């Protein structure tokens, strides 16, 4: 089942270049901005449609080229650096909202479409794709490849729960789709689930269809301070066990204290009633409860600068846990300079350690977080970090069922052409 090693291509030969050029209208040399987490591609191919993506992949297959797909590149340093990149497949040219069927509450967009453009289109009919833009400019394809999600995942889940159809280009250039344009559909395997969060290692997503939700008329954030991890847990538990239907339950944490913020959305009359109800629940636990139309500081973004690319960027971690584990996770960070933001309502928080943090200290924090998250049915992964840190620690951590995952990879990409080495277990 293991794949044979492929010979290194020192430079793109003329025949390969010509094959790419005839498959894809826009092929150019790579520049430093095209590097994928420090790894330089030989060329950048920017296809204009699905057929050009397929042609590019066929050319790559014929010439043994490794391919890394990219949307806007907002998360291109996430995960492990690729073992090598010959062709950076820039999907920015696949930028189109193909269809917004408002009456059916669905939208179809090409992979390179910025999420914000999709939101703008569907907002015209007072609808939204209920996935937060966690990094400005992020595309649909990049969001799927990383399963990026923000605060609003508490109520409706992530893109995983909203994707209803997907078209992909395989390693060999074959175009395949799964799902469709209807929300309810159990015909065949749900390939979309496998592609989400796969970091581009199974295929190139070129087109996706999602279910939409109505855009709420009103929204309010109810924020309560917590002086210690137990206090944060008590607030988060009170919020999730309430009947006010939180759209988000966020936690912000630094220096051993922080706040829990609950987002209530809906029609104006209902939201106001729920704000009062929730304030009455949280008040006795926190003393002071604030209500605002604005998101708490940081909102649905990460506690690090997602645009930083240099060796001085922060160490970015993702910690997941069963909801009751919040206090233990926050407690594991006691005495560290960590800043935390994330969804206490779904059990996913992001942790930033300042760039000055030594590798040994990162490793220590990682170990503590892995213990705490594992005790509560979760995991800790390194989302992004300077090369020295990625080299020194286990970026993805232990992954159950890795053998089965390798078998999936072997089937979908037997020659390890797609984003080799970026994912779990070196997949």
Partner 1 sequence: MGQQEIDAVTAVARRRIPAEGVIDDRTRLRTYECDGLAHYRVTPALVVVPEDAEQLGAVVAACAEHGVPYVARGSGTGLSGGALPHAEGVLVVTSRMREIREVRRADQRAVVEPGVINLDVTRAATPEGYYYAPDPSSQQICSIGGNVAENSGGAHCLKYGFTANHVAAADFVAPDGETVRLGSTAPDTPGYDLLGAVIGSEGTLGIVTTVEVKLTRLPEDVRTLLVGFGSTDQAGAATSAIIAAGIVPAAIEMMDALAIEAAEAATACGYPDGAGAVLVIELDGSAADVGAEFDDVEAMCREAGAFEIRVATDPTERALIWRGRKSAFAAVGRISPDYIVQDGVIPRTALPEVLTAIDELSRSSGVRVANVFHAGDGNLHPLVLFDDSVEGAGEAAEEVSGAILDLCISHGGSITGEHGVGMDKAKYMPRMYTDADLDTMQLVRCAFDPAGISNPGKLFPTPRLCGEVPGRHKGAHPLQAAGLAEVF
Distance of CA 135 to the CA centre of its chain: 10
Element (H, E) at 261: strand 257-266
179 dihedral zone (left: phi>0; alpha: psi -120 to 50; beta): left
Q: Is 4 in the site for partner 1 (CB under 8 A)?
A: no
CB of 199 to partner 1, least distance (A): 10
The reply to whether 123 sits near partner 1 by the rule CB under 8 A is no
Query: Is residue 299 within the footprint of partner 1 (CB under 8 A)?
Result: no
- Give the separation between CA 234 and CA 252, rounded to whole angstroms: 14
Contacting partner 1 (CB under 8 A), which of 10, 32, 103, 310?
103
Nearer to partner 1 by Cβ, of 12 and 244: the residue is 244
* Minimum separation from the CB atom of position 208 to partner 1 (A): 15
Are 232 and 253 spatial neighbours (Cβ–Cβ below 8 Å)? Answer: yes
In the numeric block, the tokens 């496998």 are attached to 194
Smallest gap from Cβ 17 to partner 1, in A, equals 28
Residue with tokens 């998360």: 75
Report CA-CA distances (Å) from 347 to 13, 119, 338: 49, 26, 18
**What is the rounded CA–CA span in Å between residue 222 and residue 359?**
38
Structure tokens, 211: 């279910």
The least distance separating partner 1 from the CB of residue 346, rounded to whole angstroms, comes to: 6
Min. distance of Cβ 48 from partner 1 in angstroms? Answer: 21
Residues 164, 184 contacting (CB under 8 angstroms) = no
Contacts (Cβ under 8 Å, ≥6 apart) of 280: none
**Cβ contacts of 386 within 8 Å, gap of 6 or more:** 310, 311, 312, 313, 315, 355
According to DSSP, the β-strands at 257-266 and 339-343 are: unpaired
331 contributes a contact to partner 1 by CB under 8 A: no
Task: Tell me which stretch binds partner 1 (CB under 8 A): 41-49, 56-64, 283-291, 407-415.
Answer: 407-415
Q: Which residue lies nearer to partner 1 by CB, 26 or 228?
A: 228
Binding status of residue 423 toward partner 1 by CB under 8 A: yes
Residue 17 as a binder of partner 1 (CB under 8 A): the answer is no
Strand (E) or helix (H) holding 406: helix 402-412
- Contact predicate 306/284, CB 8 Å: no
CA-based end-to-end distance of the chain: 13
Q: Which of 40, 102, 297, 334 binds partner 1 (CB under 8 A)?
A: 102
Least gap, CB of 76 to partner 1 (angstroms): 19
* By CB under 8 A, residue 177 contacts partner 1: yes
Nearer Cβ to partner 1 (70/409): 409
Site residues (CB under 8 A) for partner 1, limited to 71-90: none
Query: Does 131 participate in binding partner 1 (rule CB under 8 A)?
Result: no
The residue within the footprint of partner 1, chosen from 180, 290, 331, 426 (CB under 8 A), is 180
Phi and psi for 186 in degrees, rounded to 5?
-120, 25
Among 277, 285, 308, 426, binds partner 1 (CB under 8 A): 277
Q: Is residue 190 part of the contact set for partner 1 (CB under 8 A)? A: yes
Q: Considering only residues 340-359, where is the footprint of partner 1 by CB under 8 A?
A: 346-348
Site residues for partner 1, window 221-240 (CB under 8 A)? Answer: 237, 240
Q: How many chain residues interact with partner 1 (CB under 8 A)?
A: 93
Task: Give yes or no for residue 382 binding partner 1 (CB under 8 A).
Answer: no
Which of 174-182, 293-301, 306-314, 330-338 is the region at the interface with partner 1 (rule: CB under 8 A)?
A: 174-182
């Amino acid at each position: 089942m293991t794949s044979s090693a492929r010979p290194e291509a020192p430079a793109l030969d003329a025949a390969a270049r010509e094959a790419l050029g005839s498959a894809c209208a826009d092929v150019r040399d790579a520049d430093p901005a095209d590097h994928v987490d420090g790894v330089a591609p030989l060329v950048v191919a920017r296809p204009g449609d699905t057929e050009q993506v397929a042609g590019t992949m066929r050319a790559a297959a014929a010439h043994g080229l490794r391919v890394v797909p990219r949307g806007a590149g907002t998360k291109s340093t996430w995960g492990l650096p690729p073992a090598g990149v010959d062709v950076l497949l820039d999907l920015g040219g696949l930028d189109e909202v193909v269809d917004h069927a408002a009456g059916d509450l669905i939208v179809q967009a090409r992979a390179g479409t910025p999420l914000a453009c999709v939101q703008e289109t569907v907002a015209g009919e007072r609808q939204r794709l209920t996935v937060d833009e966690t990094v400005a400019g992020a595309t649909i394809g990049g969001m799927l490849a990383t399963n990026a999600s923000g605060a609003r995942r508490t109520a409706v889940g992530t893109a995983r729960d909203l994707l209803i159809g997907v078209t992909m280009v395989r390693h060999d250039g074959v175009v395949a789709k799964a799902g469709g344009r209807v929300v309810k559909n159990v015909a065949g395997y749900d390939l979309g689930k496998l592609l989400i969060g796969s970091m581009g290692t199974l295929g190139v997503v070129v087109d996706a269809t999602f279910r939409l939700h109505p855009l709420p008329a009103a929204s309010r954030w109810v924020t309560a301070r917590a002086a210690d991890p137990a206090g944060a847990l008590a607030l988060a538990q009170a919020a999730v066990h309430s009947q006010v239907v939180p759209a988000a339950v966020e936690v912000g944490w630094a220096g051993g204290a922080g706040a829990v913020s609950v987002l209530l959305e809906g029609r104006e009359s209902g939201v106001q009633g729920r704000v009062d109800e929730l304030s009455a629940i949280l008040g006795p636990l926190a003393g002071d409860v604030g209500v605002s139309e604005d998101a708490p500081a940081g909102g649905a973004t990460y506690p690090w600068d997602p645009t930083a690319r240099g060796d001085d960027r922060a160490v970015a971690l993702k910690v997941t846990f069963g909801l009751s584990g919040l206090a233990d996770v926050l407690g594991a960070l006691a005495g560290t300079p960590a800043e935390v933001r994330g969804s206490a309502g779904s059990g996913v928080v992001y942790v930033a350690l300042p760039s000055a943090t030594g590798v040994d200290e990162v490793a220590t924090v990682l170990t503590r977080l892995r213990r705490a998250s594992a005790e509560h049915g979760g995991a800790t992964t390194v989302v992004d970090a300077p090369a020295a840190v990625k080299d020194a620690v286990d970026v993805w951590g232990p992954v159950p069922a890795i053998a089965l995952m390798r078998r999936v990879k072997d089937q979908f990409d037997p020659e390890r052409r797609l984003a080799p080495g970026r994912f779990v277990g070196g997949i």
